[in-house]
Amino acid sequence: MAMATPQGTPYLVGPVPFEDVGGGGGEDHIVAVPPPEDEYADIVSAMPSTTMIGFPLLRYQGSWLLKTWVTGVLSVQRRFAPRPDDVLLASLPKCGTTWLKSLAFSTMARAAYPPSAADHPLLRLNPHQCVPFLDDLFSSGEATKAVEALPSPRLMNTHMHHSLLPPSVTAGKCKIVYVCRDPKDGLVSMWYFAKSIMPAGSTYTFSDMFEHACHGETPNGPIWDNILSYWRASRAHPDKVLFLRYEEMLLDPGHAVTNLARFLGVPFTAAEEAEGTSADIVELCSFKAMKVLPANNTGTFTMLGFPHRSLFRKGVAGDWVDHMTPEMARRFDGIVHEKLRGSGLTFAAP
């Protein structure tokens, strides 16, 4: 959104699509820093490791991280400088990340990009091209100028545990929105996501991944610890951390958008409500609308090389029933229930 200073010089007001500010990379966007393999070699070499779905995981400060993202997490902790009006979207992988990015971007940027406009950025870009993913962006050990070049308020996302975020972030310098999904559905969605890049002939099964999950060994897991970290933060600081539940968003997306806008400090005006702006955002970001867009059916997501189309499978709740036996569901629910005991957060039993 372009505005003018008192001197008449135009400047941008965020959020704007990261891709348009230089998210595609390039030498002109890079600040040279020590290579991560040199800077973090001692730390990384001391991390416990395992493998899930063919991906190496390293354990760092209680969290299992994809090896690809370990240097990103370390770099975010050391180099990311939050601004007071930053908004950080957080989630476990495959638990509503893409939808939350779409809703938050279209809600915050609606003055510059009306949701009913024919040239809206979400009609030409994948949501991940609009909202930068810090874990991946910083994984090369090179903090990009593009992040600093983003006009305020900046909108970004992460899969990191709340406890892994820099103290400057958790101290309340910016707002955080976390979306939580039933862990069983999250596992199923992760399985199909991973299958999209599995080599032909792979013998790794959903049951194999399920066993890893029961032991907490999933990307950005243990699942329960990731969820709990944001749940507790939202209870302690409800003005700074908003905890959303994916299943509730599916049931009433209009309420979710209204709640999101209010939390982010950009509530819908009476005029916008009369014009149906929130309903337009819900429609623009609906699974049905986004799944058919060329930007979401072609191209590759830079993070690990996943095809864009792998981000849109079903977008429903309860799909786990077609992939888990009752015994598997009871076992996993029992583990999650025990880990969440006393927190006030629960998931419905099968």
Strands of the chain, DSSP E: 2-4, 10-12, 49-52, 55-60, 63-66, 87-91, 155-158, 175-180, 241-245, 300-301, 306-307
With contact defined as beta carbons under 8 Å apart, do 243 and 231 qualify? Answer: yes
Catalytically annotated residue among 29, 120, 128, 159 = 159
Alpha carbons within 13 A on the beta-carbon side of 48: 7
With contact defined as beta carbons under 8 Å apart, do 217 and 52 qualify? Answer: yes
With contact defined as beta carbons under 8 Å apart, do 57 and 44 qualify? Answer: no
Q: How far is residue 210's CA from residue 174's CA, in Å, rounded to a whole number?
A: 35
Give, in order, the Cα–Cα distances in Å from 150 to each of 10, 17, 259: 15, 9, 25
CA angle 205, 209, 212 (to 5 degrees): 145
Asked if 212 is an active-site residue, the reply is: no
Kindly list the catalytic residues. 159
